A = this chain, B = another copy of it.
Amino acid sequence: MAITYRKAGVDIDAGDELVERIKPLARATRIAEVMEDVGGFAGMCRLPSGLEDPVLVSGTDGVGTKLKVAFLTGVHDTIGFDLVGMCVNDVVTTGARPLFFLDYFGTGKLHVDVGEAVVRGIANACKEVGCALLGGETAELPGMYAEGEYDLAGFAVGVVSRKNIVDGKRVAAGDAVIGIASSGLHSNGYSLARHVLLETMHLAPSDTPEGLGGATLAEALLRPTRLYARHVAALTSDGGIDVRAMSHITGGGLPGNLPRVLPDGLGVRIDGTWTRPAIFDLIAQGGPVEEKEMRRTFNLGIGFVVIVPAGHAARATAVLRELGEEPIALGEVVPVDPQTPFEERVLWQGA
Contacts and interface: CB of A to CB of B under 8 A. Distances in A.
A333 B3 CA distance: 31
A336 interface: no
Contact of A44 (B55, B60, B139, B290): B55
Interface in A150-179: 151, 153, 155, 157-158, 162, 165-168
A135 interface: yes
Interface residues of A, number: 85
A141 B44 contact: no
Given A42-B90, A106-B151, A153-B153, A293 B2 contact: yes
B143 A68 contact: yes
Contacts of A260: 40-41
A191 B5 contact: yes
Interface core residue of A35, A43, A46, A290 (most chain B CB under 10 Å) = A43
A4 B191 CA distance: 10
Nearest to A138: B62
A41 B247 contact: yes
A151 B144 contact: yes
A69 interface: no
This chain: copies in complex: 2
Contacts of A103: 60
Interface string A79-115: 0000000000011011010011011101000000000
A137 interface: yes
A291 to B, nearest CB: 10
Interface string A283-300: 000011110010011000
Given A40-B260, A41-B94, A135-B60, A191 B2 contact: no
A56 B65 contact: no
A35 B200 CA distance: 46
Given A10-B192, A149-B144, A192-B5, A94 B248 contact: no
Contacts of A135: 58-60
B41 A91 contact: yes
Contacts of A3: 192, 195-196, 200, 287-289, 293
A136 interface: yes
Interface in A262-316: 287-290, 293, 296-297
A61 interface: yes
Nearest to A149: B144
Nearest to A106: B151
A276 B221 CA distance: 53
28 contacts: A2-B290, A3-B287, A12-B252, A39-B168, A40-B168, A41-B90, A41-B93, A42-B91, A42-B94, A45-B56, A46-B54, A46-B55, A46-B56, A46-B162, A56-B56, A58-B100, A58-B135, A59-B102, A60-B103, A60-B135, A60-B136, A64-B141, A65-B141, A65-B143, A65-B144, A141-B151, A144-B149, A153-B153
Given A56-B157, A144-B151, 19 more contacts: A3-B195, A3-B200, A5-B296, A39-B167, A41-B93, A41-B260, A43-B58, A44-B58, A45-B56, A47-B54, A58-B134, A58-B157, A60-B103, A60-B104, A62-B139, A67-B144, A142-B191, A144-B149, A155-B155
Task: Report the 5 A-B pairs with minimum CB-CB distance, sorted nearest first.
Answer: A40-B260, A104-B153, A155-B155, A8-B195, A3-B287
